[in-house]
Amino acid sequence: MSESLWQNCLETLQSELPSQQYNMWVRPLQVQAINNDLVLFAPNKFVLDWVRDKYADRINELLTELAGTNKPNLKMEVGSRAAAPVANPTLQVGNNFAPSNGQNSSPSGTNFNNTNNVTQIGQTPPQTLTSNLKESYVFDNFVEGKSNQLARAAASQVADNPGTAFNPLFLYGSTGLGKTHLMHAVGNEIRQRNPDAKVVYMHSERFVQDMVKAIQTNSIEEWKRHYRSVDALLIDDIQFFAGKERSQEEFFHTFNALLESNHQIILTSDRYPKEIDGVEERLKSRFGWGLTIIIEPPELETRVAILMKKAHESNFDLPHEVAFFIAKRLRSNVRDLEGALNRVIANANFTGKAVTIDFTKEALRDMLALQEKLVTIDNIQKTVAEYYKIKVADMSSKSRSRSVARPRQIAMALSKELTNHSLPEIGAAFGGRDHTTVLHACRKVTELRETTHDIKEDFSNLVRTLSS
C-alpha cells in the first residue's frame, strides 16, 4: 500500500539527509494515498516549493526503487490530508495530524487550524497571564542572511502552522543575535492571524519567580492551569532553569501537556540543549523533539543590511561606507551594532556634523578600541592552537601535515575575518608567508565551511570564543 511505501521512503530520506533538513522539510509533510496517487501535503507554499525543488527527484527515485512498476504517481500540494478516521495512525508524518475522534474543534478559538482536533487542557482562561509580546519584533524588520536563514524560515513555518509544524521550536545561539526577536515575531504573527489566540512570552527567570510566588500563595494549581491553557508558550533563555529542580519539574509537566494538545512551544537558549548544564536529561531530550536551530553571528553583508535597515527605520541617512565601516569592526552581535548605530545617530543629531568615517571613528572610539584589543592575531593563534591541541609554534612552522596545516589555515581565515590586518600582515604573522598563501587559506576555509559540517562548527565555535 502506498502509504507504507512512503514510510519506507521516509526511512531512507531520514538516513540520507542531515537531521535539520529532514526535520524542517520532510517531517511536516502529510501523506495520503488516493487511488493510484500518493499525495504529499505540505503545510504551506514555502515548504511545497522547497520540497519540489530539492527533494522531489529523489523521492520519485526512491518510490521507483521500492515499488518498481507499481510506483504510485507522486503529487504534491498545500493542505493536509482529509480528516477522516485514520486507518493506521502510525503513518502520520510529523505530529500534525490529529485523527477525528468525534469531538469537533472547540468553539473557544483554542485551535489554530481547523484540521486539528485539540484536546483542551484546563478550563480556566489565563486571566493573570499577559502576552508580554513586543510589538516591534516582527518578521518584516528582521533582516535575513545566511546565519539566520534557517531559523527565520522555521519561525515563519511555526507562525503559519502553530502547534503543528515544529513543536517545540528551539532556537539557540550567542547573545544578541535575534532569538528573542524571532520568537516575538512568531507570537505577533499568530496573534495577528487569530486575535483570540493566547500567546504568552516569558523570560525563564520570570517563569521561575511566578512559580515560586504561586507556591507561596498556595495557588500553584491555578498557576498550572493558566500555563497549560495557553495556545503558544514562548520561554526565553531557558538556560536559567539550570539547577532549579522544582521549576524544571513543573515545566516538564506543562511542556508535556502543551505538546500533547498540539499547542506551540518556542524556547531559546544560549547553547545547544544537550549542553545546558544543570537541566534534567529528560527535559533536554524533550527540547529536541521538534526542531533545534542555531542562529549564528551575521556575516558582513547581513551586518551592513541590518545597519542600513535600522537607520532607515530611524529616518537617518546612513552613508553606505559608514555602515560598512561599522559592520567590519563590530562582528559578533547585532545588539552591539544597534548600540553603535544609535550612538552615531545621537552624535550626528547633537553636533549637526556630517556622518563620515572619521566622525564615526570618533563617536565609537571606546567601542572600537575594545574590539581591537580583544581580537589580535596572537590571540587567534593561541585560541586555535588550544582548540585543535597543537603547539602555537605550529602556526608559524613550515610543517604541511594536515593536522597542523588545516588549523593554520583556519587561524589565517579568522585573522582576515576578525581583525583589520591586511593579507601581507597576516602572512607575516604566520611565519613570513606570502599574501597569496593567506588568500588561498581564506578561500579554502570558506569552501570547507560550506561543505564540511565539522569545519563549519569549529569555525563558529572559534568565532564565538574569540568574540565573546
C-alpha cell at 238: 531557558
Residues in the chain: 468
Binding residues are 176, 178-180
C-alpha cell at 285: 531530550
Q: CA-to-CA distance for 463 and 92, rounded, in angstroms? A: 41
> Binding marks (x or -) toward ligand ATP, 305..324, rule CB under 6 A?
-x------------------
Among 179, 228, 329, 331, binds ligand ATP (CB under 6 A): 179
The residues near 333 (Cβ < 8 Å, ≥ 6 apart) are: 174, 175, 176, 177, 297, 467
Q: Toward ligand ATP, which CB reaches closer, 131 or 180?
A: 180
Q: CA-to-CA distance for 165 and 133, rounded, in angstroms? A: 21
Closest approach, Cβ 336 to ligand ATP, in A, equals 9
Q: Toward ligand ATP, which CB reaches closer, 48 or 334?
A: 334
- Fill in the DSSP letter of residue 8: H
Q: Which of 140, 177, 160, 135 has its CA nearest to residue 303?
A: 177
The interface with ligand ATP within residues 228-257 (CB under 6 A) comprises 237
Q: Toward ligand ATP, which CB reaches closer, 39 or 306?
A: 306
Q: Which of 90, 110, 122, 115 has its CA nearest to residue 100?
A: 115
| Cα within 13 Å of Cα(24), Cβ side | 21
Residue nearest to ligand ATP (CB): 178
157 near 186, Cβ under 8 Å? no
Which residues are paired to 75 by β-bridges? 39
Q: Which of 24, 26, 38 has its CA nearest to residue 81?
A: 38
Binding residues for ATP are 176, 178-180
Closest approach, Cβ 160 to ligand ATP, in A, equals 19
The interface with ligand ATP within residues 329-348 (CB under 6 A) comprises 334-335, 338
Total residues at interface with ligand ATP (CB under 6 A) = 18
Interface segment toward ligand ATP; rule CB under 6 A; list 69-77, 179-187, 208-216, 368-376: 179-187
Q: Which of 82, 109, 401 has its CA nearest to residue 390?
A: 401
> Binding marks (x or -) toward ligand ATP, 410..449, rule CB under 6 A?
----------------------------------------
Interface segment toward ligand ATP; rule CB under 6 A; list 173-181, 193-201, 384-392, 410-418: 173-181
**Residue that has been written with the C-alpha cell 537541566 in this structure:** 279
- Taking CB under 6 A as the rule, does residue 175 contact ligand ATP? yes
Closest approach, Cβ 146 to ligand ATP, in A, equals 11
The three-state secondary structure class of 5 is helix
The three-state secondary structure class of 74 is strand
Q: CA-to-CA distance for 251 and 246, rounded, in angstroms? A: 8
The interface with ligand ATP within residues 110-149 (CB under 6 A) comprises 137, 141-143, 148
Q: Toward ligand ATP, which CB reaches closer, 30 or 147?
A: 147
Among 79, 176, 288, 431, binds ligand ATP (CB under 6 A): 176
Q: Which of 72, 295, 38 has its CA nearest to residue 174?
A: 295
Interface segment toward ligand ATP; rule CB under 6 A; list 178-186, 227-235, 245-253, 459-467: 178-186
Q: Toward ligand ATP, which CB reaches closer, 97 or 142?
A: 142
Q: CA-to-CA distance for 92 and 109, rounded, in angstroms? A: 25
Closest approach, Cβ 23 to ligand ATP, in A, equals 21
Closest approach, Cβ 136 to ligand ATP, in A, equals 8
Among 40, 177, 380, 426, binds ligand ATP (CB under 6 A): 177
Interface segment toward ligand ATP; rule CB under 6 A; list 40-48, 59-67, 96-104, 170-178: 170-178
3-state secondary structure 251-280: HHHHHHHHHHCCCEEEEEECCCHHHCCCCC
Q: Toward ligand ATP, which CB reaches closer, 93 or 238?
A: 238
The interface with ligand ATP within residues 255-284 (CB under 6 A) comprises 270
Angle at CA of residue 431, ends 428 and 433, nearest 5°: 60
Among 178, 297, 407, 427, binds ligand ATP (CB under 6 A): 178
396 near 430, Cβ under 8 Å? yes
Q: Which residues bind ligand ATP (CB under 6 A)?
A: 137, 141-143, 148, 175-181, 237, 270, 306, 334-335, 338
